[in-house]
Chains A and B, each alone.
Chain A
Amino acid sequence: MSGPIRIQPGETFTLNVGPQHPATHGVLRVKMEMDGEYIVKAETVLGYIHRMHELMGENRPYPKVLPNLSRLDYLGAMGYTHGHVLAVERAAGIEVPERAEYIRVITVELNRVASHLFWFGAFVMDLGGFTPLMYALQDREHILDALEGITGSRLTYCYFRFGGLCNDIDDEFIARTRALIPRMRKSLKKYEALVTGNIIFRKRLEEIGPISPEMCRKYGATGPVARGSGIDFDIRKNEPYSVYPEFDFDVPVYHECDSMARYKVRMDEMEQSLRIIEQGLDKLPDGPIMPKRKPKLIKPPKGDYYQAVETARGSFGIRLVSDGTKNAYRFKLRSPTYSNMSLFDEACEGMMIMDALALMGSLDLVIPEIDR
């Protein structure tokens, strides 16, 4: 061979990230066209854990669909079931007692903290730091224990019923939750010191993975992804549902549009959720947890109903088309990470693979929730 070997300018290779890959946190596959360490083009391939929940929602009566919703997102399941019961209640016109609404909000917020904690640990692990995961899981364990005491399950809750709840909370739950709040606050400070200020961590996130507000809009990104891009959008505030208007909390918004902004949004959200839980426990009214008058058979009148809720990952929507029978005619689930993930293909172009996977981590993916 004579002469130096030149790398052809257009030479790329295909890298299959997934379906089994530590950074995808599940069975997601991204086909990346790589130029060395740089991504030229990425194509996300979905459907490895697709279970057709929408069809299941159509071929069984409403109450039987209840457990399905928590199988969407095993980390923040409570928020999804909340959306479902609200949608059916809206369609069938079922009144919910106030106490039930408060307990719903408390449990949903607890679950949101648990979900964000897991995300925090997994995200730092994506960046190569293993220790925060252990700390975060230990804190999450307390929340799961508290929720297990009243709901009976640790992840895939089926606690809400149309019109209320299946089980009232007890003093033990209240005591546990009250003890949990100061402990969480202390932990959040510790995470701040251990992770947020770390120079390597900041270098890896700041100004990395930019997602512009315009891009968020074009792809319909919601939740912390949108709020990290300076969009003040939280369904709890913008389109209030349940008893959220009665709580005093802030929606953290950061304008940097980078992975760090999304990280900070979630970290601040935990504190806000703790505030909501605290207020909820203080204000918790007495009363029944199920309405006195409730139709035995849920048969919403003919129509087309939409209900959006803010889950840990963004705005989750249910479109319910009813034909007046006991089964839904159409049961559409609008999952937030589906939209959030769809911008990844465009956002990661030209990035290095390390930064792209940090960006993917900052989107907070739960694959069963994308695939449904």
Chain B
Amino acid sequence: MIKDTVKQALQDLFPDPEPVVEEPVAQEADGEEAGDSKKKAKKKEEPRANGVLERDHAKYGCDLDVQLEPGELLATVMILDKASFFLESITGVDWIKEDQLEVVYDFSRYDFEICRVVIRTRTPRSTPLVPTISKIFPGANWHERETHDFFGIKFDGHPHLVPLLLPEDADFHPLLKDFKP
């Protein structure tokens, strides 16, 4: 099982060998929602602790969900590279309430035993800085540039961090939640 081996390899990275178990809290159903959507909330109210989570693929569309510090990113991605994962996409999420920007990396494998791995890392909103993984996955080059366009997240060591989709002189980041067009 590729999922287990990868999970084991990833867990070794974290100093706390205790596997983090997902404890989904039942969402207090919003009144008008029917029973259908009485789903488990993924995030607890307090920010999630770093670690590896195993997820239900049918529900979330991913198998492993890893949250880590930006410093651990490169080591993690190298593990995935060795396990012949490919990079699906990189994106950001602006958690403005927590004053943090999240960078989300999607990995998958060319395999019938599909194993989608999501790597999340958070960086402060004022000085968003994440190491680049374009040395390991050259395909990350464009994805990181796009994320820089939209969120202003700086990728440390990126060879060519200029706007890709936005105009060359763009100084705004449209997907930040406080962006006013």
What residues make up the interface of A, taking CB atoms closer than 8 Å to B?
46-47, 50, 52, 54-55, 58, 87, 90, 92-95, 216-221, 226, 231-233, 237-239, 293, 295-297, 299-308, 315, 317, 319, 321, 324, 329-330, 332, 334, 338-339, 342-343, 346, 371-372
Contact = CB atoms under 8 A, between A and B. Distances in A.
A121 B84 CA distance: 35
Main secondary structure of the interface of B (DSSP, over half): loop
Nearest to A317: B88
Given A217-B110, A299-B30, A317 B89 contact: yes
24 contacts: A47-B165, A47-B166, A50-B165, A90-B60, A95-B36, A220-B137, A221-B139, A237-B112, A238-B112, A295-B33, A297-B32, A299-B32, A303-B43, A304-B43, A304-B60, A306-B116, A306-B118, A308-B61, A317-B88, A324-B41, A330-B91, A330-B94, A343-B139, A372-B165
Contact of A342 (B114, B139, B165): B139
Interface residues of B, number: 49
B110 A226 contact: yes
Given A306-B116, A343-B139, A220 B30 contact: no
B86 A217 contact: yes
A319 B106 contact: yes
Interface in B69-86: 84-86
Contacts of A317: 88-89, 106
Contacts of B30: 299, 324
Contacts of B34: 293, 295
Contacts of A300: 37, 39
Contacts of A218: 86-87, 137-139
Given A54-B150, A218-B137, A317-B106, A301 B40 contact: yes
Given A46-B165, A330-B93, A371-B165, A303 B61 contact: no
Contact of B61 (A217, A306, A342): A306
A295 B37 contact: yes
Contacts, number: 153
A30 to B, nearest CB: 14
B43 A217 contact: no
Contacts of B111: 233, 238
A297 B150 CA distance: 29
Given A304-B60, A329-B93, 15 more contacts: A46-B165, A90-B61, A92-B37, A220-B88, A220-B139, A221-B86, A221-B139, A238-B111, A301-B38, A301-B39, A302-B42, A308-B61, A317-B89, A319-B106, A324-B30
A302 B163 contact: no
Nearest to A304: B42
Contacts of B137: 218-220
A315 B88 contact: yes
Nearest to B55: A304
A305 B118 CA distance: 11
Interface in B107-154: 108, 110-112, 114, 116, 118, 137-139, 141-142, 150
Contacts of B141: 342
A55 B172 CA distance: 13
Interface string B8-41: 0000000000000000000100101110111111
Contacts of A94: 36
A308 B87 CA distance: 13
Contacts of A220: 86-89, 137, 139
Contact of B91 (A52, A87, A226, A332): A332
B136 to A, nearest CB: 8
Contacts of A304: 42-43, 60, 65, 104, 118
B84 A217 contact: yes
Contact of B142 (A217, A332, A342): A342
B120 to A, nearest CB: 9
Contacts of B6: none
